[in-house]
Amino acid sequence: MASRSLTRLINGAALTFGKKFLKDVERSKSHAPELQHALFNHLISCGKETKYGVEKNFSAIKDFEDFRKRVPLCRYNDFVPYIERLRRGEDYVLWNQKVRWFAKSSGTSSDKSKYIPITPDSLYINHFGGMKRMLFNYVHLHPDSKIFTTKALTLGGSVQPDSLAQNGLNIFNGDLSAVMLKNSPKMAELVRTPSRQTALIAEFEKKVMRICKECTTQNVSNFSGVPSWNLVLMNKVLEYTQKSNLLEVWPHLELFMHGGISFAPYREAYKKLIPSENMHYLENYNASEGYFAFQDEFPKDPLSDSSQAQMLLTVNNGIFYEFIPFKEMTGDNETDALKSVPLEGVKTGIDYAIVITTCGGLWRYMPEDCVRFTSVNPYRIIVSGRTKLYINAFGEELMIDNAERALQNTCRKFNLQVTDFTVAPEFMGIAAGAGMARSGSGSSTSGSCSSGAMSGSPGAASGNPGAASNSPGAASSSPGAASKSSRTPSANNLSNSPYGSQSVSSSSDSASVSGSIFAAESGMGNGTSGGSAPQRFTLQQGCHIWAIEFCDPQRNPNSPTFDPAAVEEFAEALDRELTTINSDYEAKRSPGSTMQRLKILPLAPGTFLKWMQQRGKLGGQNKVPRLWKDQTFINQLKDIKL
């Protein structure tokens, strides 16, 4: 291990090499709009040399207003025809460079894979450039860091020849991490582990075991990747070494560079895995579409800070940004295209859908992410959610940021950890009232979470557009809308509870809205039918179902010490936390409104891992969908047998 003086000497030499990147970080803080304007002009100039630019008449674009009117707002599906031409080997379709690499990502915006073009500019200027800014800034702030004299552990991905490639062209696709690894300089191998051969293994479990064998004897000081997948890896490392924490394996561990999903639900787990005050956690916003932002400042105790890390927007590495106020979005591209503002038009505290134009050939592309500016001097952001993946079944507008913060705060109160979670709505329904025969085995008026409520329910996979709406205004929570549901009382049947014979119910909530009585269509308008009282219905409140994998025997349904009351206690606290964080949720949870208290489906450790394995989605580029429009995933998780 290098001495402190040698470490500082090496770091000083590295920072001399990285002076250009450090200077650019400072300019990004002080002259962001000017840098964006200059970059905009450069991108348009390059775009004129492309087939897309000719098609959209880029030569006529003089300024941002021209650009906004002439170039359409696009999502991935809009670009598929152009991308498939590139995959077949056609050149200069979207950018004025040849494309031989594609970042393959399942993402959370579609069940199908996305193939994002990786041009030489997007690879070296954007992705590698963003990483260099982040690393040099970290060492600048931590002059005694050992990351340049030790090893960096990367989980990596895999690449394969592209199936659409024609004429014998060498065109490849794979995880972004693998594309970067295949194109990284050989010098990088001196400070990286495992071997490139191991890092590129496609089978996740085989890769993890090889990493355990290769890397546990290396002097690792830092690692990077998605928190959930690295948590799996690090637990395997401890199993393999029979150590109690990671510092016993790697004593000089100092940095985890994470992204892809929020770190908040995993804080406590990493705090136990790495019990060190000298451990740093660095968040960065690096997607297949581009490298957008990184955490440029560090709190004294990052694990005691419940807030999400603020990240400095990178404004001079090949991406021009636009922002559309999320609450003003209609879902219509033509309408929303004219609502965007450039960087200087944003305000703090507002959720914006991000729109990017990149040196990878993505023009006015929506990656479906929402960001919120915490500062405009300099421009710092947090990722607040997804434009599609939020739950708005009842007007509650639950975004990922709300869900993750509420779960983190609740876990802290109970001093426990969760491995993973996903949330889905249970839609409002109609129960039989006076004069109406009940079908099935009865309806629930409790807040319990039952397998009967989640499987076979007509509303469970109804595709209701208000559930996880593609447009913010799509929610429908009116009793009239709910009264037309085909749901029957048996949809809320409490038999087959996941708690066995005990169902967890809420003493403070009723699943039905008292007073919300509607005449049946057969008797509506005439008061009686044949002298009898009109048939009546009771409106059943909806709710959210949380499938949570707890690292706690009391809340593990396969544990002999499982306690349904402990799950109930957690559900009550989580629901209270959500009402504190989200005023819309609080309003919909008020007495007589549309929602009852949330329900929890507790899952045994390993459930999410097996589910992802069954779906063929093991690996760092795949993410557990946190919020979903229906109970498809809930039902699949419920059926997992360990």
pLDDT reading at 9 higher than 50: yes
pLDDT band at 112, cuts 50/70/90? low
Q: Is 395 left (phi over 0), alpha (psi -120 to 50) or beta?
A: left
Output the pLDDT for position 202.
84
What's the average model confidence in pLDDT over 364-391? 89
Beta strands 599-603; 543-550: pairing state:
parallel
Could you give the C-alpha distances from 539 to 422, 480, 487, in angstroms and in order?
26, 10, 11
Please name the residue that has the structure tokens 């891992």. 609
Output the pLDDT for position 505.
31
440: enclosing H helix or E strand: none
Decide: 228 and 189 in contact? Cβ < 8 Å.
Answer: no
pLDDT reading at 600 higher than 90: yes
What's the average model confidence in pLDDT over 130-152? 96
What's the average model confidence in pLDDT over 488-508? 29
What's the average model confidence in pLDDT over 84-102? 97
Structure confidence by residue, pLDDT tens digits, 354-363: 999 999 999 9
Residue 499 burial by Cβ neighbours in a 10 Å radius (0-12, 13-18, 19+): buried
Side-chain-facing half-sphere of 459: CA atoms under 13 Å: 30
| Nearest in space to 562 (alpha carbons), one of 499, 503, 618, 517 | 499
Decide: 282 and 147 in contact? Cβ < 8 Å.
Answer: no
Please name the residue that has the structure tokens 């990088």. 188
Structure confidence by residue, pLDDT tens digits, 413-456: 999 999 999 999 998 655 544 433 333 333 333 333 433 333 33
Choose between 265 and 335: higher pLDDT.
335
Question: Cα(634)–Cα(622) distance, rounded to whole angstroms?
Answer: 18
Output the pLDDT for position 155.
84
Output the pLDDT for position 590.
80
pLDDT reading at 481 higher than 70: no
Q: In sequence order, which ranges of 326-366 are alpha helices (DSSP H)?
A: 333-337
* Strand partners of residue 286: 291
Output the pLDDT for position 389.
67
pLDDT reading at 632 higher than 70: yes
Decide: 127 and 286 in contact? Cβ < 8 Å.
Answer: yes
pLDDT reading at 484 higher than 50: no
- Helix and strand counts by DSSP (H, E) for the chain: 21, 21
Give all strands of the β-sheet with 255-258 in edge-to-edge order.
192-193, 151-154, 220-225, 255-258, 280-287, 290-294, 311-313, 379-386, 369-376, 351-358, 319-325
Q: How many Cβ atoms are within 10 Å of 52's Cβ, its own excluded? A: 17
DSSP letter at 251 equals T
- Rounded to the nearest 10 degrees, the angle between the axes of helix 564-581 and helix 400-414 is 130
pLDDT reading at 245 higher than 50: yes
Beta strands in 377-417 (DSSP E): 379-386
CA 472 from centre of chain: 18
pLDDT reading at 189 higher than 50: yes
Q: Which of 266-270, 456-460, 625-629 has the highest mean pLDDT?
A: 625-629
- DSSP-derived secondary structure for 545-593: EEEEEESSGGG-TTSTT--HHHHHHHHHHHHHHHHHH-HHHHHHTSTTS
> Could you tell me the two tokens for 62?
């003089």
Beta strands 159-161; 172-174: pairing state:
antiparallel
Structure confidence by residue, pLDDT tens digits, 94-111: 999 999 999 987 644 443
Output the pLDDT for position 480.
32
Question: CB-based contacts of 149: which residues, under 8 Å, 6+ apart?
Answer: 1, 2, 6, 7, 10, 191
Question: CB-based contacts of 243: which residues, under 8 Å, 6+ apart?
Answer: 249
Question: Cα(33)–Cα(192) distance, rounded to whole angstroms?
Answer: 36
Output the pLDDT for position 299.
75
| Nearest in space to 451 (alpha carbons), one of 553, 595, 585, 603 | 603
| Nearest in space to 360 (alpha carbons), one of 73, 105, 124, 621 | 124
Structure confidence by residue, pLDDT tens digits, 62-72: 999 999 999 99
Output the pLDDT for position 91.
97
CA 17 from centre of chain: 34
pLDDT reading at 264 higher than 60: yes
Question: Cα(466)–Cα(483) distance, rounded to whole angstroms?
Answer: 15
Instruction: Report the SS3 class of residue 540.
Output: strand
Decide: 325 and 308 in contact? Cβ < 8 Å.
Answer: no
pLDDT reading at 50 higher than 90: yes
Instruction: Report the SS3 class of residue 90.
Output: coil
Choose between 427 and 247: higher pLDDT.
247
Percent of the chain with pLDDT over 90: 58
What's the average model confidence in pLDDT over 508-521? 34
Question: Cα(397)–Cα(463) distance, rounded to whole angstroms?
Answer: 17
Structure confidence by residue, pLDDT tens digits, 308-350: 689 999 999 999 999 999 989 888 888 898 899 999 999 999 9
Choose between 229 and 213: higher pLDDT.
213
Instruction: Report the SS3 class of residue 354.
Output: strand
What's the average model confidence in pLDDT over 245-252? 96
pLDDT reading at 511 higher than 70: no
Output the pLDDT for position 539.
56
Question: CB-based contacts of 252: which residues, under 8 Å, 6+ apart?
Answer: 1, 146, 150, 219, 220, 221
Output the pLDDT for position 606.
93
What's the average model confidence in pLDDT over 33-47? 98
Question: Cα(519)–Cα(434) distance, rounded to whole angstroms?
Answer: 10
pLDDT band at 59, cuts 50/70/90? very high
Percent of the chain with pLDDT over 70: 79
Could you give the C-alpha distances from 450 to 456, 537, 554, 611, in angstroms and in order?
12, 23, 18, 20
Question: Cα(113)–Cα(83) distance, rounded to whole angstroms?
Answer: 12
Beta strands 369-376; 351-358: pairing state:
antiparallel
Question: CB-based contacts of 272: which residues, under 8 Å, 6+ apart?
Answer: 245, 417
What's the average model confidence in pLDDT over 165-177? 93
pLDDT reading at 399 higher than 90: no
pLDDT reading at 120 higher than 90: yes
pLDDT band at 621, cuts 50/70/90? low
pLDDT band at 525, cuts 50/70/90? very low
Output the pLDDT for position 491.
27
Output the pLDDT for position 307.
53
Question: Cα(93)–Cα(361) distance, rounded to whole angstroms?
Answer: 8
Amino acid identity, residue 58? Answer: F
Ranges 30-34, 50-54, 385-389, 600-604: which has the least confidence: 385-389
Decide: 18 and 136 in contact? Cβ < 8 Å.
Answer: yes
> Could you tell me the two tokens for 153?
């552990």
Domains and CATH numbers, the chain: 4-386 (3.40.50.980), 400-519+535-638 (no CATH)
Question: Cα(136)–Cα(145) distance, rounded to whole angstroms?
Answer: 11
pLDDT band at 261, cuts 50/70/90? confident
What's the average model confidence in pLDDT over 261-288? 87
pLDDT reading at 528 higher than 70: no
pLDDT, mean over the chain: 81
DSSP letter at 348 equals B
> Could you tell me the two tokens for 127?
């992705």
CA 561 from centre of chain: 33
Choose between 629 and 419: higher pLDDT.
419
| Nearest in space to 383 (alpha carbons), one of 456, 292, 458, 519 | 292
pLDDT reading at 238 higher than 50: yes
